[in-house]
Amino acid sequence: MLTGVSSVKRFPDQLRRIKFIDRERDKTLVFLTNNTYLPAQTIAQLYKNRWQVELFFRWIKQHLRIQSFYGVSENAVKTQIWIGVSVYVLIAIMKKRMNLDTSLYTISQILDTTLFDKIPLNQLFMDYGYRTEQTDVPKQLNLFDF
Statement: the pTM of the whole predicted model exceeds 0.75:
no
How many beta carbons lie within 10 A of that of residue 57, not counting itself?
A: 11
Q: What is the DSSP letter of 25?
A: T
Residue 28: give the domain boundaries: 5-63
Kindly state whether residues 27 and 47 are assigned to the same domain. Answer: yes
Q: Is residue 138 part of a domain?
A: no
Q: Is residue 95 part of a domain?
A: yes
Kindly state whether residues 57 and 95 are assigned to the same domain. Answer: no
Number of domains in the chain: 2
Which of these three, 16, 38, 63, is where a domain ends? 63
What lies within 8 Å, CB to CB, of 108 at 6+ separation is 65, 87, 91
pLDDT in tens, 68-120: 788 889 999 899 889 989 999 999 998 888 888 888 888 888 888 888 888 88
Kindly state whether residues 11 and 54 are assigned to the same domain. Answer: yes
